[in-house]
Chain A
């Protein structure tokens, strides 16, 4: 599906500029005339929402950096200074802190949408892998951002996460020393994390550019997982159809976001982070931010230091191999009756791991974490490869237009039913 530009520069200056740098034509072909499958549902609006969240985090972050100081003896007080002294500092900090959570909510919906509709399958493997890289960079950025307020959770989160690298044989201790810039988490660590926390979002922005480029080169997947056969019948132009739908979804998402910012700004945080960092006392119950909990549960479920770390990173790395682990030629779960059921089991397992990550590492919780961790890997390494070989897909419509019209006819037969 090529984005054919229908842009005709109007006027002398526009023609002069376009013949030297076809920038407006590029924007026009990728955001105005770009053909989008006509069967896209609201799950396809999360790419736009994620772009909005990235901009939101960069803008609010740049402003916070104007008022923050990365120096261990004062950083905690500087964050309180932002909350109490800076005009609207409380608002901008709550936007940034809750924005991180919103970013992850959106990215998890985006990832699970890709899994459900098989968006990672050929020819979208590179698109998918770029997404996994963005996800990894997001996790690194969020982790380092959480260290900056220099509260108890910041300090001990930084200690635990950096210590993960000490599990690497031979070089682990040296890597940790390099991360810390000392013999424990301290001021040098805080300073370099601040520097990297400022850098990584721009790297994310760069990879997002590649992600969108790859997307527009191969074309969007769609809920039926069928290729576009006729641009005229199967697609509608990006503007106004996708633009308006994306903006509407974005506004609804912003309302959800605003509810957190204005009514429960600390709900997703941890109260221990309002206690200044104390290198001599670990909080009684230490948990990472909610978006890391499933991986934290996997880490804790393995009773071996190196094994736990490998399992945790493996749980993320396995995503990059998903295009080849899933052997089915059919993309969408709509036409894969067995996969659909296993997808939902996997979703429950992932959420369950998140729940277990928040619970203390003892008794039944540990046993449950182990069972779910094993299932997590079995899903990717056994179920998906085998399912593609034994599953009998249901009958697929001949084209996107046929799929849409068939559902339309069903809707007309039963008035009031959702299309």
Chain B
């Protein structure tokens, strides 16, 4: 539209800015539900904790449970596995972290980790590889008895999910 000779702000400027502001707020208010619906819905969130009874897991056994659709490895480690994991000097690790930080004290034999290779998301095989832990069949990454990466290409240790002991033999993941 043609500009008329006016000084300062006029009524049209006000209407223009007010309309634009209301329109922007309206568009954002409409866009948010359409973005929000992409997030996990209530039925997914309701399944976000998993309770596990540890008593049937014998020494040396690895059990896989599901939490939020992901495999969780629960490894009841023999004392020699724990000692081996704790004897490794930090300098030898790709992603240095002491074994003590990866377990709950008082339950040092139980290792709970997310069973997804930190390289590209495959599920590593238990009791395989050279470090008493896991071997990933996809690209050859190896993890030790603490779930720490020892041979690449994986860059990081298997992550420890949030969990708590609700009794001596029960944990709640999530």
Interface residues, chain A, CB within 8 Å of chain B?
Answer: 59, 63, 66-67, 81, 84-89, 91-92, 240
Contact = CB atoms under 8 A, between A and B. Distances in A.
Interface residues of B, number: 11
A87 B1 contact: no
Contacts of B41: 67, 81, 85-87, 89
Contacts of B36: 87-88
A85 B43 CA distance: 6
B33 A87 contact: yes
A88 B33 CA distance: 5
14 contacts: A59-B34, A67-B37, A81-B41, A81-B43, A84-B42, A85-B41, A85-B44, A87-B33, A87-B41, A88-B36, A88-B37, A89-B37, A89-B41, A92-B33
Interface of B: 1, 32-34, 36-37, 39, 41-44
A92 B42 contact: no
A-side interface mostly: helix
A86 B45 CA distance: 11
Contacts, number: 34
A67 B33 CA distance: 14
B31 to A, nearest CB: 11
Contact of A92 (B1, B34, B43, B44): B34
Contacts of A63: 34, 37
Contacts of A89: 37, 41
B57 to A, nearest CB: 34
Interface centre among B39, B41, B44 (most CB of A within 10 A): B41
Nearest to B32: A88
A88 B42 CA distance: 11
B26 to A, nearest CB: 9
A89 B44 CA distance: 14
Report, nearest first, the 8 A-B pairs whose CB atoms are least far apart. Answer: A88-B33, A85-B42, A87-B36, A85-B43, A85-B41, A86-B41, A87-B37, A91-B33
Contacts of B39: 87
A205 B37 CA distance: 25
A59 B37 CA distance: 13
Contacts of B32: 88
Contacts of A59: 34
A88 B39 CA distance: 10
Contacts of B33: 87-88, 91-92
Nearest to B46: A85
Contacts of A92: 33-34, 37
